[in-house]
């Protein structure tokens, strides 16, 4: 059985924890898009691991983790992640980590461009400023530098020269800032190339012979950050939806048997953009505090709000989701009366279709009684308070989609299987 895990909201749904859990009976875990804008957290006892590029399956012994062609790689961040894991006793080698030769490389000018673009925009996006967008722009413009170019000194020198020719005049003339030195960048990146070379391969060829193995595809970001299907322009620059999994991993011969959608029991978003159920009151503040809703990558406070079922239904369709996992149900423990959005209104009128733009949407709420009990230590579904099961049941009913697990705490084992 090959499985895909995709976020159904605006990211940070708890994908890292769920990947770490679901990969127990998989052989290979593959990231297929995004870059180190992602922050995937796995908590094991008193240790907290935050992965930006390496798939969250890396903590489990015997799993092969792969970074696909659809990912953009900041080599410095990747090397730091490898070193951090090695120090933590998780031995990283080409036996458990593989990187696609076709993945594009984030260069210093991409990070600077990300910041400059953001500064100069009237309508800010609130990017992570990791250079993700500009790197994908160069990929589409055919100016990008790929991992395979990085490890070939001649190709790298040629491509870097070409890029600096363009970037130095652009940065100097348009933005009036200092230019980049060819030699400095070349030396820095050549050193990265030496460290990463053993991991780089043709993933398609590497995995073709292993096509009977069990695969887990790890989505980054979330459905509404998809460059086409998200709340454009307040999105990331890649396709976060399930349709990109085969393409972005370079494994067209792997049939994905189940699309698992991950949704938090409430909603969060980092950065700018519309968010119909956002709460700017004490309840929003409560979610942020109890749910530790601060970006795993940038540390920015996450915006918080009620669960939006209309949004989830759209995510179900876009990703062709077969089953769902709900995370952070424990954060709702103390709330006496919960609300979930079941309809959208605009200008006082109920909408029949999912809107093209989520700005100026008025959410219509349904109230659901809370459970007022600590559920973090519960491990069986029938232990959960009736009201918590009602909440889960309402999500299933609204989406016509079964929920297979409910996560009730950040610890690895704080998860409850629900028979579907």
69 vs 103: CA distance, rounded Å? 4
262 vs 244: CA distance, rounded Å? 17
Q: Which is nearer to ligand GDP, 164 or 270 (CB)?
A: 270
- Kindly state whether residue 52 participates in binding ligand GDP, applying the rule CB under 6 A: no
| Cis amide prior to 233 (ω within 30 degrees) | yes
Distances (CA, A) of 329 to 262, 378, 389: 12, 11, 10
- The alpha-helical segments, DSSP class H, found in 180-244 are 182-196, 203-208
37 touches 132 (CB < 8 A): yes
12 is catalytic: yes
Binding region for ligand GDP (CB under 6 A) out of 35-43, 83-91, 122-130, 346-354: 35-43
Distances (CA, A) of 260 to 57, 182, 313: 16, 45, 14
Q: Which does 72 bind (CB under 5 to 8 A by kind): ligand IMO, ligand GDP, Mg ion, none?
A: none
Q: Mask of contacts with ligand GDP, 353-392, x by CB under 6 A?
A: ----------------------------------------
Q: Which does 225 bind (CB under 5 to 8 A by kind): ligand IMO, ligand GDP, Mg ion, none?
A: ligand IMO
Query: How many degrees, rounded to 5, is the angle at CA 104 between CA 103 and CA 105?
Result: 125
The contact set with ligand IMO (CB under 6 A) reads 7, 10-12, 37-40, 125-128, 130, 132-133, 220-222, 225, 236-237, 270-271, 296
Token reading at 415: 């998860």
- Kindly state whether residue 218 participates in binding ligand GDP, applying the rule CB under 6 A: no
Query: Which listed residue (340, 409, 416, 418) binds ligand GDP by CB under 6 A?
Result: 409
Q: Which does 37 bind (CB under 5 to 8 A by kind): ligand GDP, Mg ion, ligand IMO, none?
A: ligand IMO
Q: Which is nearer to ligand IMO, 235 or 341 (CB)?
A: 235
Query: Which listed residue (5, 13, 75, 193) binds ligand GDP by CB under 6 A?
Result: 13
Binding region for ligand GDP (CB under 6 A) out of 10-18, 176-184, 198-206, 304-312: 10-18
Q: Which of 20, 27, 40, 104 is catalytic?
A: 40
204 vs 211: CA distance, rounded Å? 10
Q: Which is nearer to ligand GDP, 39 or 144 (CB)?
A: 39
SS3 state of residue 48: strand
Q: Which is nearer to ligand GDP, 11 or 248 (CB)?
A: 11
- Kindly state whether residue 55 participates in binding Mg ion, applying the rule CB under 5 A: no
Neighbours of 110 (CB within 10 A): 26
Three-state secondary structure along 336-393? CEEEEEEEEEECCEECCCCCCCCCCCEEEEEEEECCCCCCCCCCEHHHCCHHHHHHHH
- Kindly state whether residue 271 participates in binding ligand GDP, applying the rule CB under 6 A: no
Q: Which is nearer to ligand GDP, 308 or 410 (CB)?
A: 410
110 is catalytic: no
Q: Which does 409 bind (CB under 5 to 8 A by kind): ligand IMO, ligand GDP, Mg ion, none?
A: ligand GDP
- Kindly state whether residue 408 participates in binding ligand GDP, applying the rule CB under 6 A: yes
Max Cα–Cα distance, the chain, nearest Å: 66
Rounded to 5 degrees, φ, ψ at 110 are: -70, -40
Q: Do you know the residue count of the chain?
A: 420
Token reading at 405: 């697990």
Q: Which is nearer to ligand IMO, 101 or 231 (CB)?
A: 231
71 touches 53 (CB < 8 A): yes
Neighbours of 232 (CB within 10 A): 14
Question: What minimum distance in Å lies between the beta carbon of 303 and Mg ion?
Answer: 14
Q: Which residues bind ligand GDP (CB under 6 A)?
A: 7, 11-17, 39-41, 43, 292, 296, 327-328, 330-331, 407-410
Q: Which residues bind Mg ion (CB under 5 A)?
A: 12, 39, 296
The catalytic site residues sit at 12, 40
């Amino acid at each position: 059985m090959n499985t895909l895990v995709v976020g159904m909201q605006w990211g940070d749904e708890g994908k890292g924890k769920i990947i770490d859990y679901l990969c127990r009976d998989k052989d290979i875990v593959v990231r297929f898009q995004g870059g180190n804008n992602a922050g995937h957290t796995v908590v094991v006892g008193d240790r907290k691991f935050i992965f930006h590029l390496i798939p969250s399956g890396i903590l489990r012994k015997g799993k092969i983790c792969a970074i696909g062609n659809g990912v953009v790689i900041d080599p410095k961040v990747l090397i730091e992640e490898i070193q951090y894991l090695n120090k933590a006793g998780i031995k990283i080698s080409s036996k458990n980590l593989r990187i696609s030769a076709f993945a594009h490389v984030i260069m210093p000018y991409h990070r600077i461009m990300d910041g400059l673009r953001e500064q100069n925009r009237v309508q800010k996006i609130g990017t992570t400023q990791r250079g993700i967008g500009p790197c994908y722009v160069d990929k589409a413009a055919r100016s990008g530098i790929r991992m395979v170019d990085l490890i070939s000194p001649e190709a790298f020198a040629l491509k870097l020269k070409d890029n600096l020719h363009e970037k130095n005049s652009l940065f100097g003339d348009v933005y009036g800032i200092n230019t980049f030195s060819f030699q400095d960048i070349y030396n820095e990146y050549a050193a990265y190339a030496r460290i990463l070379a053993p991991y780089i391969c043709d993933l398609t060829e590497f995995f073709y012979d292993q096509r009977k193995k069990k695969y887990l595809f790890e989505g980054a970001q979330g459905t509404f950050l998809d460059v086409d299907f998200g709340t454009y322009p307040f999105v990331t620059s890649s396709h976060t939806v399930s349709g990109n999994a085969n393409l972005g991993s370079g494994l067209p011969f792997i049939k994905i048997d189940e699309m698992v959608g991950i949704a938090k029991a409430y909603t969060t978003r980092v950065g700018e953009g519309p968010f119909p159920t956002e709460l700017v009151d004490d309840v929003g503040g409560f979610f942020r505090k109890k749910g530790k809703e601060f970006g795993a990558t940038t540390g920015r406070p996450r915006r918080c709000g009620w669960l939006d079922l209309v949004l989830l239904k759209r995510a179900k369709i876009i990703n062709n989701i077969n089953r769902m996992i709900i995370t952070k149900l424990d954060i709702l423990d103390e709330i006496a009366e919960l609300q979930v959005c079941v309809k959208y209104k605009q200008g006082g009128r109920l909408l029949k279709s999912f809107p093209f733009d989520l700005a100026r949407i008025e959410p219509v709420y349904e109230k659901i009684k809370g459970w007022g009990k600590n559920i973090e230590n519960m491990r069986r579904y029938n232990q959960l308070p009736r009201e918590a099961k009602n909440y889960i049941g309402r999500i299933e009913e609204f989406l016509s989609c079964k929920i297979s697990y409910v996560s009730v705490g950040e610890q690895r084992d704080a998860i409850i299987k629900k028979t579907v």
